[in-house]
Amino acid sequence: MALHLDIVTPEKKVFSAPVDNVYLPGADGEIGVLPAHAGLVTALKPGELRYLHNGQVVTLAVGSGFAEVTQTKVVVLTDMALGEAEIDEQTAEAAIKRAEEKLANVDHSMDAEEVAYLQGIISRSAAAIHFKRKHRG
């Protein structure tokens, strides 16, 4: 039984093909998914996603989002999904800096959504940098 993996970001469909297994960065820790997994909807936190495709392990840095798991299918909806080559540390660091500056100017009690959004950018970019460094070193 095959497990079909779809990774979708607002910009494009990053990946869509059958895989042997998937590891997701779930909100409560890493989740490993094999074919015939029970139905599951989970929140994702920024981190590392791995899947085994044609005998090769592929890793991607992903942002926050959701994953829907059914017996034959995994759909990952996230705001970022980048391979190692696509991550530019400087851009990511600049994004963190910008978001932190904005965060300092936002009224935390008034604008909870804005704060969450900015924190999302920070944690997502931090995850990307972490991922890049780990795979280079």
Task: List residues near other proteins by CB under 8 A.
Answer: 6, 8-13, 26-28, 31, 38-43, 66, 68, 70-72, 75, 77, 113, 117
Q: Is 10 exposed, middle or buried (0-12, 13-18, 19+ CB in 10 A)?
A: exposed
Least Å distance between CB 135 and other proteins? 26
Cα(104)–Cα(81) distance, rounded to whole angstroms? 27
Least Å distance between CB 127 and other proteins? 17
Comparison of 1 and 136: residue with beta carbon closer to other proteins? 1
- What stretch of H or E contains 119? helix 112-136
Comparison of 9 and 21: residue with beta carbon closer to other proteins? 9
Least Å distance between CB 20 and other proteins? 19
Least Å distance between CB 111 and other proteins? 9
Comparison of 75 and 126: residue with beta carbon closer to other proteins? 75
How many other CB atoms are found less than 10 A from the CB of residue 107? 9
Comparison of 26 and 83: residue with beta carbon closer to other proteins? 26
Q: Which of 47, 65, 56 is nearest to 128 (CA)?
A: 47
Q: Is 20 exposed, middle or buried (0-12, 13-18, 19+ CB in 10 A)?
A: middle
